[in-house]
Amino acid sequence: MPSQGLVFVAIPFGGIHDEVYNRAIAPAIAGAGYRAYRADASAINRDILNDRIIRPMQISELGLFDVSTNNPNVLWELGFARCMNLPELVTSFADVKDAPFDIRSSTILRYSPVGTGIDDFRSELSTHITAWRTLLPRSDDGLHVRCHGTKFDVPGASDFWRHLHEEAEVRLILLGRTNKSWLTKEDDETIALAQSITRVAEHPGGSVTIISNNDPDVIQYHVEFLRARLSLTPTAQGRVEYYSSSTANYGAHATDKRLVLLPYAHSEDFRDLSLVLEIMNPNSRPYKEYISDIHRYYKDRRICQKNWVW
């Protein structure tokens, strides 16, 4: 499946709109390899305008705007998206002539909210998004880099990280200073990570590598996590390794399909503002070079110590 990029969805809340979103829009976006982002589904409660609308829109690749009822919030968000030159897909179940003049001039994907109309809309919408994806620019080596925001402000963060780990088949690399967010919480993300590690390790030829700093407390909870959470068969022997090091230039989550980098800021004051950058093509030269760099890093016994191996 393609990498999970972001599609900003502006649609009124409640009633038929929720049904259209849940039955057609969200499945069509997911089926095309993207994540649907809807502002009312966000858990961010600081600056609602900037954190829930403007910033997610800035890092989205496509905006979907349903103007069926001429909702003023949707119209405002559509206008802002046009100021940003965000590619747009406008949808409506109402008569186009009822839309404002400057929207009537747009290409509007019409659908019916009754009968089989929603299911038909899902299929047509999926076709439109997939066709639009082929227009994305690529460099000569197929490299496509996407910025998902900063470390703690990735829109739809739980889904993003869970999808990243769940798609891993034969390679999973977790490189971070402490990896505390993953290993010390009793939540769905931690459980999903343990399940992904187990699945990859049990795959013939699978390989799981975890790297952290060499703080004794950090090493201890890594080992405790691995011992408590993993239940591996003898066939997985030697496929899960944990290393510690006194130095690291960046954080990384890597699978056999994509690589997410978190370059560290030099100042501790800005550590949590590290960008989340994704290299999406595993056949591209930068992807291969980063993976090779990580392998050289943990195999260098001058800077890395092996603490645990299954």
Burial class (CB in 10 A: 0-12, 13-18, 19+), 140: exposed
What is the per-residue pLDDT for 17?
93
What is the per-residue pLDDT for 2?
40
159 vs 120: CA distance, rounded Å: 26
Q: Span 117-140, mean pLDDT?
A: 78
Q: Span 51-75, mean pLDDT?
A: 87
What is the per-residue pLDDT for 272?
62
* Domains, in order of start, for the chain: 5-133 (3.40.50.450), 145-309 (3.30.870.10)
- Regarding predicted confidence, which is higher, 33 or 64? 64
pLDDT at 36 over 80: yes
Express each pLDDT in 221-269 by its tens digit.
999 999 888 888 888 888 999 999 887 667 889 998 889 988 866 556 5
Express each pLDDT in 162-208 by its tens digit.
788 888 899 999 998 888 877 877 677 788 889 999 999 999 989 99
The end-to-end CA distance of the chain, in Å, is: 30
What is the per-residue pLDDT for 265?
61
Task: Please name the residues in contact with 5: beta carbons below 8 A apart, sequence gap of 6 or more.
Answer: 33, 34, 35, 60, 61, 146
What is the per-residue pLDDT for 107?
82
- Regarding predicted confidence, which is higher, 286 or 172? 172
Q: Span 48-65, mean pLDDT?
A: 81
Query: In degrees rounded to 5, what are phi and psi of residue 100?
Result: -55, 155
What is the per-residue pLDDT for 4?
61
Written as six digits, the tokens of 50 are: 């900037």
**Strand intervals (E) in 161-268:** 171-175, 207-213, 240-245, 250-255, 259-263
